[in-house]
Structure 1
Amino acid sequence: MKNELLTMIELLEKDRSLDKGTVVSVVEQAIETAARRIDNIPPGVRVQVDTENGSIKAYSDVLVIPDDEEISEEDKSEESEVDLELTIPSWHLSKVLKYVPTAEAGQVIRIPLDIDSFGRISAQTAKQVILQRLRDAEREKILNEYSNKIGDLINGMVSRHERGNLVVDIERTEALLPRAEQSPSERYKPGDRLRAVVIDVRDTEEEHIPRVILSRATTGLVRRLFEIEVPEIYDGFVEIKNIAREAGYRTKVSVVSHDTKIDSVGACVGIRGSRVRNIVQELNGERIDIVRWSDSVEEYVTNALSPVELVQVFADPETERILVVVPDDQISLAIGKSGQNIRLTSKLLGWKVDVVKETEANRVASEHGVDITTKEKSESIFESTSNSVSKPSLTLKEGGSIFASDDEFEAVKAASKSKRLIEVSWLTANQIEAFESIGIKTVNDILTSEKETLLAVPGIGEKTLEKILTSAKADE
C-alpha cells in the first residue's frame, strides 16, 4: 500500500508534469476532504504523507467541550473551509473519550486516526477529489507557463483538423492554430511538425484546459526566425525596425546596424544567401525583401522599392503621404503583383505611398494646380488648391495609385501576371531550383529582386546574372 502510494505520486508527477510537492499536497487534501464526510469522525482531519516511506499519518486536533455545550455552526459543517492552522474545532467530551479515554473538558487533544478505517467510499471520494485538484493544478500551471510565452516561438506536431483550424500538440497540452492565423501557401496533415508563435492564452472553462492560440501569419514569426538565424540581430548589433507581411506571399523587413563595421542587409542575407534562404524555406517559399532602414523618408522609400529606379520623391509630413515618380517601363515593378509591392512599402514606412509614371507626373500635378519642376513647389502635391483644374475626382484603386486611370491600372495588373520560372527555356533545372529555394518563382521576381540577393544564389555569377536579366526583360 505504501509503495503503491509513492508509485502513484511519481506517475502523476511525470504524467501531469507537476512538481512532487504539488502532487503530495493534492493527495493530502483529497484524503482530508473524504474523511470529513465520514459520520462520527472527529472534525478538522489533517493528513500528512511521508514521501520517504509512503506512510500516511491522519489526526485531528480538537477542543474538548462539555456535552451540554453547543457546537458552533462552523464546527458542525462537514464542508467547513475554516483555516485549521488558526482555528481548532470543538468536539463533545463523550465522543472524544472513545478515542482518548483520559481526555477532559477544556483540553486541546490530538486524536490519532487509522487511515484504513476510512472505508471504500472514502477512497472513491478521495480519488475523485485527487483528479479534480490535479486538473485544476495542471490548468493553473499551463495558464501561467504559456502566458509568459506570448510572442515566443514554439515547436509542435499537428494532431488533427477541426473545421479548418489545426490542433497542435505542444509538449504538455494542445494548442489551436486558427485558419485566420495560417499561411495560405501552407498545408499540413496530422503528424507534420511545425513552428509557430504563441499569440494568446485564453482561460476557458471547457474541460478546464486553457486554450493556447498559435500563429504562422504574424510578423512576429518572421522576427523570431531572423533572431534565430542572424546572431547580429539576437545580440543587438542589428535591429529590425519594422516588418510588413502578407503571409504566404511576400514580406519586407527593414533593418539598421548599430555597429559601423556590420552591414545590416549583408548580415541578414548571409554568405551566398544562406541565412535568408533558411527563413524562406521555413515559410514555404515566401519571398523576403530585406530593406536598409533610414531616418530620411525619401531614402527609406527608395530602399524599400529597390530595384525600381525612382525619378523623383515627394513627401508630405503633415499627411504622411509620399508620391514617387518612376520610369514608365518600371511602373509594374513598382506596384507589384496585384499592388502587393506598393502596399507592403506603405505598411513598412507607415506612410501612404502613391506611384505615378514619369510621363503622367506633370499631368497629374497640373490637375492639382501644382508645379513639380522644383522641389520646393512639389512638396505640396497632395494639397488641393482653389486654382485646381476642374476634372473628375481621382479615386484610389486597390493596390494601385490615386494617379492612375482605370485603364492604366488594369494594364498594370495584366503586366504583373508574370511567367513562372519552370515555364521559361533560358534557365537550367538547377538554376530554377536554386532560385525557388529563396522564394523567387516568377520572371517578375527576378526583375524585382536586388542584385546582391540574386548573386547570393548558388551558381549565379556576374556574367550569368547579366544573361538571365537580359532574357527576363525580353520575356516580360
Structure 2
Amino acid sequence: MALEIAPPRPEFLQVAEAVAREKMIEKEEVLEAMELAMGRAGRQTYGINKDIRAEIDRKNGAVKLSRWTLVVDDDAVEDEETQMPLRIAQKVKPGIQAGEYIVDPLPPIDFGRIGAQTAKQVIVQRVREVERKKQFEEFKDRVGEIINGTVKRTEYGNLMVELGGRAEALLRRDETIPREAFKNGDRVRAYIYDVREEPRGPQIFLSRTHPGFLAKLFAQEVPEIYEGIIEIKAVARDPGSRAKMAVISRDASIDPVGACVGMRGSRVQAVVAELQGEKIDIIPWSSDIATFIVNAMAPAEVSKVVLDDEGKRVEVVVPDEQLSLAIGRRGQNVRLASQLTRYDIDILTEAGESERRQEDFRKRSGLFVEGLDVDDVIAGLLVTEGYGSIEEIVEVDDEELASIEGFDENIAAELKRRAVAFLELKEVEADQKRVELGVSDELVELGSFTAAMLVTLGEKGVKTLDDLADLASDELVEMLGEDQMDEETANAIIMAARAHWFGEEGEPQNG
C-alpha cells in the first residue's frame, strides 16, 4: 500500500517568514524550529521513544515524517527503539554499514489540539534560543561602548534597561552614580562593561561608574580623541564626586588639556552634566613617572618626589600649607592620584620630611659612633657621603674611603680595621646566642645563613635540618625578610635541607 502523499501547506512557510521578520532572525532557523516541533509531535503518535523527524518542503510547505534507525554492530545495541543490529539491517538494505541510518517514511498525521500545542511550545522555545544567541553575537563585541536605553523596571534597586526593544541589560545599583535616581520609562546612557552567555540568555551588564564610561563620554564630545590625535592614557574616578584623567597629544601643536576642556569649558561641562556634577581634573600624561605623579597631585604643589620603582611606591613631599589640599577631602585627591599612576603614594610635609631625615641621620651616625668608636664629626661625614651600615665600610675600596674630605689612607685603613673587628665580634656573639637557642650545627654547615640569620631562625623555632625542610619558601623569606633573601634562594636552601630525606637514587630513606 502506497504512503499517502503529504499535502502542500504554504501557510507554514508564511508563518515562518512572519516570525523571522518579527524576531529579526533567519527564516531557515524558524523552519528548523518548526521541523523539530513537528518531529516531537510525531513521536506522540508513532512512539515517544522513537527517532521521528519532520522535514518541511521549502517550496510548498508539505510536511514529510520519517522514522530514523541507527545501524550499530550486532553486540552494540543499547536502545531497540532507535537502533538496529547490523545483521538485520543488511537484510533490509544490503550493503549498509554501522553508523548509517535506515529511514522509513511515515504517513502524514493530523496533529490535533495536543500535538499543535506541543509544537507551538517547542517552536517558541527554539525561536527564543535563536533570538538569545543572536543577541549575544550582537552585543559580545560591543563591550566598551556607550549605549542608550530605557528603564523598563526596577528590582531591589537594580535597573533592567531595555535596549531598543532588542535586548535587556542590567544596571546594578552599585554601578549607578550615588544620589541619582531613575524611574520606569526614563532614558539612561551607560557603558557596556561585560556580556556573558548564560543558560537563561545573554546577560549584558551596564555601568555609569566605570572609568571607561568617562573616557567614552569624552570621545563623544572631543573630536580629537575620536580621531586618535589625543589619547586618554588613564582615568581614575570617585563616581559622582571627582575624577582625574590623564591625556597626551600626538600632535605637538594641539594642547590635549585645552582640547578636552573646550571653549569656555563647553566640552568638559557636557561630560560633567552627564555625571551628575562630578568634578574632573584633566592633566597631561608623561612617560616620566615622577613628572606624571607631580601632575596627578594637582591642584596641590609638590616639592619633591622619591620613587621606589621596584616596590611601586613613591614619597611625595609638599609644603606644609599644601598638606590638606594634597590629601583632599577624606583622602580623595591622593587616592585618585594613586589609582591614576598605579603607585602607592605616601605624603610628607617639608617639615616632616626634614625631621625624618634628621632622625635617620642621627640613627646612622649613632651606629658608626658605637660600632667604629669614632666621634660625631667622622660619623657625620660617613653618613653625608651616603654610607648606611658598617658592612658598607668593609666592602668599599680603600681609595674611595680615603677620598672623603678630611680623610686620608691611614684613617681609611683604621676605619676598615675597626669595621671588620666590630662585625667579627657581632658574628661571635650571634653564634653564641645561636648555640644557646639550640640551633644545630647542621644549619651552619649548609653555608647559606649568617649567624644573625640563624639567631632569627632559632627565635622562630627553626632549629634543626628537619625544621628547615618543613618550611615553604615564602615562609623562610617572611622569617628572614625580603631584604635578606629572595624566594628562589629560599627554595634552593629548603631543597638542600630536604636532601637527607632521600636515598642516593632519590627514593625516600626508611626511617
TM-score for the superposition, normalised by structure 1: 0.63
How much has 1:111 moved relative to structure 2? 7.0
Equivalence for 2:248: 256
- Paired residues in the alignment total 353
**Does the Cα contact within 8 Å between 1:23 and 1:134 map onto a contact in 2?**
yes
How much has 1:290 moved relative to structure 2? 0.9
How much has 1:13 moved relative to structure 2? 2.1
- Report whether the alignment pairs 1:211 with 2:216: no
**Does the Cα contact within 8 Å between 2:169 and 2:205 map onto a contact in 1?**
yes
**Does the Cα contact within 8 Å between 2:65 and 2:108 map onto a contact in 1?**
no
**Does the Cα contact within 8 Å between 1:142 and 1:210 map onto a contact in 2?**
yes
Q: Distance in 2 between matches of 1:314 and 1:62?
A: 78
- The 1:177/1:110 distance shift into structure 2, 3 A limit, reads closer
- Report whether the alignment pairs 1:342 with 2:349: no
Equivalence for 2:64: 58
Please list the CA deviations of residues 105-135 of structure 1 after superposition, one character each: whole Å capped at 9, or x if unmatched: 9999987666453443322221122122123
Please list the CA deviations of residues 342-398 of structure 1 after superposition, one character each: whole Å capped at 9, or x if unmatched: 110111111122333334432233234499xxxxx99x9xx9999xxxxxxxxxxxx
- Report whether the alignment pairs 1:223 with 2:215: yes
- The 1:115/1:266 distance shift into structure 2, 3 A limit, reads farther
Q: Distance in 2 between matches of 1:343 and 1:40?
A: 69
Unaligned runs of at least 5 residues, structure 1: 64-71, 94-103, 372-376, 387-476
- The 1:370/1:139 distance shift into structure 2, 3 A limit, reads farther
Q: Distance in 2 between matches of 1:141 and 1:298?
A: 49
Q: Kindly provide the amino acid, as one letter, of the partner of residue 26 in structure 2.
A: D
How much has 1:184 moved relative to structure 2? 1.0
**Does the Cα contact within 8 Å between 1:35 and 1:45 map onto a contact in 2?**
yes
Equivalence for 2:116: 123
**Does the Cα contact within 8 Å between 2:53 and 2:68 map onto a contact in 1?**
no
Unaligned runs of at least 5 residues, structure 2: 1-7, 70-76, 364-382, 392-511
How much has 1:315 moved relative to structure 2? 2.6
**Does the Cα contact within 8 Å between 1:62 and 1:90 map onto a contact in 2?**
no
Indicate which of 163, 166, 179 corresponds to 1:170. Answer: 163
How much has 1:193 moved relative to structure 2? 1.1
Equivalence for 2:131: 138
Equivalence for 1:17: 24
Q: Which has the higher contact order (CA 8 A, sep 6+)?
A: 1
- Report whether the alignment pairs 1:185 with 2:182: no
- Report whether the alignment pairs 1:157 with 2:162: no
Q: Kindly provide the amino acid, as one letter, of the partner of residue 29 in structure 2.
A: T
Please list the CA deviations of residues 176-231 of structure 1 after superposition, one character each: whole Å capped at 9, or x if unmatched: 111222211321111111122222334444xx233322211111211222222223
Three-state SS of the structure 2 residue aligned to 1:37 is helix
**Does the Cα contact within 8 Å between 1:322 and 1:351 map onto a contact in 2?**
yes
Q: Distance in 1 between matches of 2:102 and 2:321?
A: 98
**Identity of aligned pairs, percent?**
42
- Report whether the alignment pairs 1:30 with 2:28: no
Indicate which of 72, 76, 85 corresponds to 2:81. Answer: 76
* 1:315-394 → structure 2 map (5 Å cutoff): 315-369=307-361
- The 1:15/1:253 distance shift into structure 2, 3 A limit, reads same
Q: Give the structure with the larger helix fraction.
A: 2
Q: Distance in 2 between matches of 1:32 and 1:3?
A: 19
Q: Kindly provide the amino acid, as one letter, of the partner of residue 198 in structure 1.
A: I
Structure label with greater radius of gyration: 2
Three-state SS of the structure 2 residue aligned to 1:140 is helix
- Report whether the alignment pairs 1:148 with 2:141: yes
Q: Distance in 1 between matches of 2:389 and 2:229?
A: 44
Equivalence for 2:231: 239
Q: Distance in 2 between matches of 1:370 and 1:350?
A: 33
Three-state SS of the structure 1 residue aligned to 2:307 is strand
**Which segment is superposed worse, 261-270 or 335-344?**
261-270
**Does the Cα contact within 8 Å between 1:167 and 1:174 map onto a contact in 2?**
yes
TM-score for the superposition, normalised by structure 2: 0.59
How much has 1:59 moved relative to structure 2? 4.5
Q: Distance in 2 between matches of 1:334 and 1:384?
A: 34
Q: Distance in 2 between matches of 1:59 and 1:183?
A: 58
Equivalence for 1:293: 285
Indicate which of 181, 186, 193 corresponds to 1:199. Answer: 193
